Amino acid sequence: MGYAYYLLPDGREAGYGVEAECDRAGCAARIDRGLGYLCGQNPEGHKDADEPGCGKYFCPTHQPDHDCTNPECGEWDEGENLCCRLVRGHDLPHRDTDTEEEFVSRGDDVKRPAYFVDIARVCHEANRAIQMILCDPAVSPGWDDAPEWQRESAIDGVEKAINGATSEQLHESWCEYKRADGWTYGETKDEVAKTHPCLVPYDELPETQRRKDAVFGAIVAALTS
């Protein structure tokens, strides 16, 4: 079963390449049917009856808040008062999903796990280090001083990478954020004129720039494995 596209036993299309709506009744949040939005580790029809999770797909707001048929993994923290709640299956530490600290708002009534921000910070600072090594004429500011669009771009990139986005797709997402902020293609990077030489299709990027996208994806994979 490939993760980009496959059919569920009920005939629905699934995979991170399939756009869909959250399975929570009444929620129209746009997601995909990739593993990042799945309750549990296997989708409905591909999971054992006693396997934790319901096998359906939910937006970040409803991943920990839906009528799951089997919401507990049976593993508890030392205080025996916090269950896993199946936020992205069992590959993450158990979290208290009732506390606001575990989620951050995206500004459009959609909340994402707070660890997305932690990983995005690491990716951003790694990118800055690469910019310095490559003698970039306009090195990005540190995470705490970065503009909102740049932080959101990194967080969105983390979410996409978790859901299986390729380096090319991550670059396209970055371009979308830059253009939305008023940037256009230019032979030199100029923060005043808002021009950037990397606002080109992925296959036209220099190899050094492609490696930045590869590093981004590798960091996300390392911190979520």
* Residues 220 and 118 grouped into a single domain: yes
Tell me the pLDDT tens digit for each residue of 100-116. Answer: 445 455 454 456 677 88
CA distance 154 to 128: 12
* Residues 94 and 120 grouped into a single domain: no
Read off the tokens for 123.
């990716």
Higher pLDDT pick, 159 / 61:
159
* Residues 75 and 136 grouped into a single domain: no
Mean per-residue pLDDT, 164-191: 87
26 within domain boundaries: yes
| Cβ contact 95:82 at 8 Å | yes
| Strand 184-185 versus strand 195-196 pairing type | parallel
Q: Which residues, including other chains, have CB under 8 Å from residue 129's CB and lie 6 or more apart?
A: none
* Residues 88 and 149 grouped into a single domain: no
Report the domain count for the chain.
Answer: 2
* Residues 5 and 80 grouped into a single domain: yes
* Residues 13 and 92 grouped into a single domain: yes
Q: Go through 196-219 and write b for each residue having 16 or more CB atoms within 10 A of its CB, e for each that does not.
A: bebbeebeebeeebbebbebbbeb
0.85 surpassed by pTM = no
Residue 142 DSSP class = P
Higher pLDDT pick, 23 / 60:
23
Q: Which domain holds residue 75?
A: 1-101
CA distance 102 to 12: 31
- Which H or E element spans position 18? strand 13-21
Tell me the pLDDT tens digit for each residue of 61-90. Answer: 787 677 777 766 655 444 444 445 454 444
108 within domain boundaries: no
| Strand 30-33 versus strand 103-105 pairing type | unpaired
Read off the tokens for 10.
């009920």
Lowest mean pLDDT segment, chosen from 9-13, 15-19, 64-68: 64-68
* Residues 97 and 159 grouped into a single domain: no
CA distance 58 to 206: 37
